[in-house]
Amino acid sequence: MTTSSASNASAPTTILQPGTPAPDFSLRATPDQSLRLSELRGRPVVLVFYPADWSPVCSDELAIFNEALPLFRKKETQVLGISVDSVWSHQAFIKARGLHFDLLADFEPKGAVSRAYGAYDETVGSSRRALFLIDAEGQIAWSYLSPVAVNPGADGVLDALDAL
C-alpha cells in the first residue's frame, strides 16, 4: 500500500511494491562497519526509511520501533533505520535515544539506497518516511509510504509480518 506525500506534491508517490526483489545494498552502521542487506537473507528484515535524526516525528517513530523490538525479535526479524545522515549523527542519536537497532547512513553517494527503493525526496535532499518488510528470500512483502509529518507507527509492518 502506498500513499502520497502530503508535504511535497512534486515528489514521486510510488515506492517499490510487494513482489519486487529488494535491492541489495551495503551501508555504514558505524564509522568502521558496514552492513549488507544480503547478509541477512534467511530471515525477515524491516527497513525504516526516515528523513532525519533529531527531528520530532522521526524521534517518535524510531522510539516506537525500539519499543516494538521484542515483537520483531520473537519473529526473528531484523529492524534497520535508514536516513541520509552521517554515521556520526546516527551514533549520537542512538546513544541519546537509547535505540537498540542499527541506523544505516545512506550518506554518500547521498540517498543512493533511498532512491533505489523509491523513497528519496529530491526537492529536500532526504529520505521520505517509508517502511518495507523484506521476506526471508529477499522479496519485498509489504511497503508503505507515509506523509513526512505523520508517524506511521509499527502496526502495519507487524500485521504484514504476521501474514508472512
3-state secondary structure at position 83:
strand
Q: Give 97's contacts (C-beta < 8 A, 6+ positions apart).
A: 59, 62, 63, 66
Sign, CA dihedral 127-129-131-132, equals negative
pLDDT of residue 34: 97
pLDDT along the chain (164 residues), means of 10: 37 82 98 97 98 95 98 97 97 98 97 97 95 98 95 96 94
51 an active-site residue? no
CATH 3.30.950.10 at 49-163, yes or no: no
Among 37, 58, 99, 157, which one carries the catalytic annotation? 58
pLDDT of residue 2: 36
* Main-chain dihedrals φ then ψ at residue 156, nearest 5 degrees: -60, -45
